[in-house]
Chain A
Amino acid sequence: MTNKLKYTVDKIDIKKEMENCIISRCKESLTQPTPKYKKAFGIGRHRIAAAAACGVIVLCSIFMLPNLLKNNFYVTSSSNATSTKESTSATNGISKTSANEAVPSQTQSKQTVTSTTPKEQPTANMPALQIVIRKFGDFIPMTLDELAEYYGRKIIPSFVPEDLILQQKEYGICKQNETTPDYDDLHSIYKDIMKDDEVYFDDNYIAYGNPAKGRELIIEVAKDRYPFNCIGDPTRFSKITVCDTQVKFAHYNDAPYGSSGDMYSALITLDSVGYYIMSQKLTKDEFMKVLTSIIE
């Protein structure tokens, strides 16, 4: 098999036009001054299409922005933000009262958000699996307190940076019943394996964010295992100790290809609850404080 592998892979050859494009781009980049993070990629057909699509989106946003601003999805001191998406719960206006109920220890600092810039609906930021399972009839909605009782320990951190607001407000678990699909390989649902009334999915997704600054903190939890969403995470984790607890920790910055800034992530198991914690544009100090507040 390995001989066949060498023979097969050796057959791959770069197309002449690609090679010529690389040669001309290299010659160009050597004759022109290159800014530090300039991406000197060749213009492939798919990139032209992507650039055109971005242009269309920007133009649409410019014309749609005034209308979106009127809907006002953000918390303001006097707003009555409403949701236009059917899948969100009745309480989803991201009202200050709801924020207080959900995060009792963060009562004062979250009441002063005044941005009126439109943002994505909370459900749009959920992992695809979270959106899919809510379509099944076996999803049981829960509050954060009920979830904490189900998992047997707290799942929200005691410390969250002041400017981050709780974005995701739908939580719950899936218990198999007659509405559970028989088979869904994409999401690892196999009805024959579980019994009715057994919990087959209990990943939950708790998201805090400051969309204006692109800052995010996401905590995913699951019982007796790591959340599914961490599978396939290409980040390389190293082991560290926080409050005498072993944590898998990673730091990544996607420059020069992207502008997500510093991203930190951690995998940890506490009292049989798996946590997958991710942040974007938080400082390391902030991330470690969040992590510590979850562990303690």
Chain B
Amino acid sequence: MTSKSVRPTDEIETIIKSYSKMLFKISLVILCNEYDAQDAVQETFIRYFNKSPVFDSDEHKKAWLITVVTNICKNMRKYKFKHNHLNIDELYDYYETKEDAMLLESLMLLPQKFKVVLVLHYVEGYKVNEISKMLSVSPSAIKMRLQKARKLLKEKLKEEIL
């Protein structure tokens, strides 16, 4: 990657509008708090615009942004040293049905390392090898996390229903 000078402001808006939803989704699932997720997304874009890297492709750029926001969320969680739980009532801002809100709540209750791989694989569509590079974890560890994450999510969903 090479750097180039700061972009014009309308390009800033275009880039933010293109990727903010994706980054916000990932941050919200990890941090379980809207405002923290907003901070994480903002910090990601600020780093992006300050470094101004040039990418080989859009996919490369997307992967870079996801890796940075995941690391920022990890650091924010360590700093807080607690799990900020989003009340299910607040989840209704995003969903109309209780079932959808409960599924998201179950996802958010999972340990961070499991929910990150679930979101990257099933929601963003990344393959195991790609996730392995983003998170600096071996592919076998990613596979095990996916397996465990699916199992835990099923159990959490059963608990929520009961």
Q: Mark A residues whose CB is within 8 Å of B.
A: 1-2, 4-6, 8-15, 18-19, 21-23, 25-27, 29-30, 34, 40-42, 44-47, 234-235, 252, 254, 257-258
Contact = CB atoms under 8 A, between A and B. Distances in A.
A8 B24 contact: no
B128 interface: no
Contacts of A10: 25, 123
B148 to A, nearest CB: 14
Interface of B: 6, 9, 12-13, 16-17, 20-21, 24-25, 28-29, 34-35, 38-39, 41-43, 45-46, 49-50, 74-79, 81, 94-95, 100, 103-104, 107, 112, 118-119, 122-123, 150, 153-154, 157
A42 to B, nearest CB: 6
Given A9-B29, A23-B16, A46-B35, 5 more contacts: A9-B119, A9-B122, A12-B24, A29-B49, A252-B78
A26 B150 contact: no
Contacts of B119: 9
Given A5-B103, A14-B41, A22 B16 contact: yes
A22 B28 contact: no
Contacts of A257: 75-76, 79
B53 to A, nearest CB: 15
Given A9-B123, A19-B17, A235-B78, A41 B39 contact: yes
A185 to B, nearest CB: 13
Contact of A26 (B45, B112, B118): B45
Contacts, number: 116
Contact of B103 (A4, A25, A235): A4
B38 A21 contact: yes
Contacts of B154: 1
B38 A22 contact: yes
Contacts of B81: 234
B13 A2 contact: no
A228 to B, nearest CB: 15
Contacts of B45: 22, 26
A162 B43 CA distance: 40
B100 A30 contact: no
A10 B123 CA distance: 7
B126 to A, nearest CB: 12
Nearest to B91: A12
A44 B38 contact: yes
3 A-B pairs with least C-beta separation: A44-B35, A14-B24, A257-B79
A22 B24 CA distance: 11
Contacts of B153: 1, 5
B42 A12 contact: no
B110 to A, nearest CB: 11
A193 B49 CA distance: 57
Contact of B79 (A11, A45, A258): A258
Contacts of A41: 39, 42-43
A139 to B, nearest CB: 26
B11 to A, nearest CB: 11
Nearest to A9: B123
Nearest to A258: B79
Nearest to A257: B79
Contacts of A235: 78
Contacts of B17: 19, 23
Contacts of A47: 35
B125 to A, nearest CB: 8
B160 to A, nearest CB: 13
Contacts of B122: 2, 5-6, 9
